[in-house]
Structure 1
Amino acid sequence: MHEHTPQAGTPAQLPSIRLICLASDRQQLIQYRTWSRALSDPIELVAVDISATVPADELAAPQSLPSLARTLASRLQPFLAHPHALFAQDHAAHLALALTYLAQRSNPGQTRRLFVSSCDSPDATEGGLTEHLQVPVTAFYPPDTLTAMLGWQRLARRELELVELPAHSRPGEQRLISILNAHLGLLCFA
C-alpha cells in the first residue's frame, strides 16, 4: 500500500486539511498525483494505493468492506486523527464509505467531507453499515446515471450534493478540481 508521509514541520506549517484519495488501480494513483499539483496550497493530497493489497473482486464484495476498512483505518490513523476529507471512485467509493463510518466513530469531527465519483450508491445496509453519515457527501456522476446515485441520500444525514460531470469527462478534469478546491478551501477555515 502506498501512503504519503506528511512533511516534517511545525504545526503552523502543516496543511489545514488533507484529501485522502483511495486508488483502486495504477491509473487512479497517477491521476491523484496529478491532482496534488492542481490543488490549492492549504490542501495536501494523500494518495493511497489500495490496489497493491486489495484484489479487485474483494473490493467489489460488500461483505469484505468492514474488514478492509478496519485494516485501512489502522494504517491511516495518523491522517484520520486530523482534519481530512476522503475521495474515491468506482468500487473504492464503497470502501471510502466504510472508512468514513469508522473514522467518524474513532475521530469525531475530523472527517469533514466524503467525495465519491462514478459509483452507484450502496444499499443502506450493505456491509453492515446502517448508521447515518455525520459528514456531508458530494457524489460526482456521469450523465444519465442520477437514478443510481440517489441511494446516497438514505445514508447522508447532513448534506448530499450531486454533481453531474460533463459527457466524456474524466474525474481529473478541471471542473472536479475546482469543486474540490472550493469545498476543501472552505473547510480549512472550519
Structure 2
Amino acid sequence: MSGAWLQIPRPKPKAAIRLLCLPHAGGTASLYRPWAKLLPDSIELVLVCLPGREQRCNEAMPADMQTLIALLSRAIKPVIDKPWAVFGHSMGATVAHELALSLYREKLRGPEHIFVSAREAPQFQKSGNVHQLSDESLCQQLIELGGTAPELLEIPELRALLLPAIRQDYRLIETSKMSSDQLLNCPITAMVGRDDPELSTDEARGWQQWTNCEFQLNEYAGNHFYLSDCPDLVVGHIVRKLHLA
C-alpha cells in the first residue's frame, strides 16, 4: 500500500479485480466509501486520496497534471499487480485517462476498463477560468454544480479551508493539455447526469473516439453529481461491465 495516496475500506484479498476511484475537483475519496458495501467480493475498492483534502489537507496539490500523474503512477504500482479498473468523476475522469496513458508509456499494466463520469471527451475540453473567479463567484459556481452544501460555504473558516484547494484543482484541470493522442486499449464507459449544466450528451459520447475497444454511454437522472442520488444503480452498472456480478 502506498501510504497516504491509497485506502482500501474493505480489503478483499481474493478479489479478481480492483476498482480505483478518483474524486472531482475539490472532492474527496469519501464520496466512494459507501461503494465498499455495494461491491461484490470479486471487486476490491481502492480509494485514491489526492493531496490538499481530508487527511492530506496540509499537502499541496501538484501545480501541473504531469507532476500529479508521475506521483500517482508511482503510488498505485502496489495495487495494479492484478487486473484493475478505474472510475473518475469530473476532474477525476481526466486524471484517470492521463494515468492510463502514463502507464502505457511505462509499459506497465493498464486498466481493464475506464469509467469517465461527468466529464467531456478531450476534444471538447474547455479551458475555463473558474480558478480565476473571486471567492464569491467560485462559491456560486460550486452551489450551481451541486455536491457542496451551501451552508458550509457560508462559514468563513470553512471557506478559507476549502476554497484554496478547490481553486488549485480547477487551475490544474483548466490549464492541462492532453499528453498523448494514443487510443486506450480497454473499454470506456461514459456516465452522465441528464441535467448536468456543465456537460452535454454529445460531449460525453465523444469518449468513443478514444478507445480501440467497446464504448458505452450511460445516462442517469440528476445533475453533475447524479452518482450521489443513485449509488446502487451506478455501482450495479460498473459491476456488470466488469463481468463480475
Class of the TM-score when normalised by the shorter of the 2 chains:
0.7 to 0.9
Which digits, 9 at most, give the CA deviation of each residue in 1:106-150, with x for residues without a partner?
324x51000111111113994222111111001101116211113
Written as runs of structure 1 = structure 2, the 5 A alignment for 1:57-68 is 58=63, 64-68=64-68
2:124–2:203 Cα contact (<8 Å) kept: no
RMSD in angstroms over aligned alpha carbons?
Answer: 2.9
- Deviation at 1:81? 2.9
Q: 1:51 to 1:160 in 2, by over 3 A?
A: farther
How far has the Cα of 1:91 moved from its partner? Answer: 1.0
Is 1:163 paired with 2:166? Answer: no
Q: Aligned pair in 2 of structure 1 residues 113, 8: CA closer, same or farther (>3 Å)?
A: closer
8 Å contact kept, 2:8–2:45: no
Larger Rg: 2
| Counterpart in the other structure of 1:61 | none
Please tell me whether residue 75 in structure 1 is matched to residue 75 in structure 2. yes
Q: Which SS does the other structure have where 1:171 is aligned?
A: helix
Unaligned runs of 5+ in 1: 59-63
The residue number in structure 1 matching 2:203 is 148
1:157-183 CA deviation, whole Å, 9 max, x = no partner? 212111011135721422111101212
1:119–1:156: structure 2 CA closer, same or farther, 3 Å change rule? same
Aligned: 1:182 with 2:240: yes
The amino acid across from 1:29 in the alignment is A
Regions of 4+ moved over 6 Å: 6-9
Question: 2:18, 2:44 within 8 Å by CA — same for their partners in 1?
Answer: yes
Identity %: 24
Structure 1 residues 104-119: aligned runs within 5 Å: 104-105=104-105, 106-108=107-109, 110-119=110-119
- Where is the strand percentage greater, Structure 1 or Structure 2? 1
How many residues matched? 177
Q: Deviations over 1:20-44 (max 9, x none)?
A: 0012467542221101111111110
Contact 2:17 2:42 in 1 (8 A): yes
Which whole-Å CA distance do the structure 2 matches of 1:89 and 1:117 have between them? Answer: 5
Please give the alpha-carbon distance, in whole angstroms, between the structure 2 residues aligned to 1:7 and 1:140: 25
Q: TM-score, normalised by structure 2?
A: 0.63
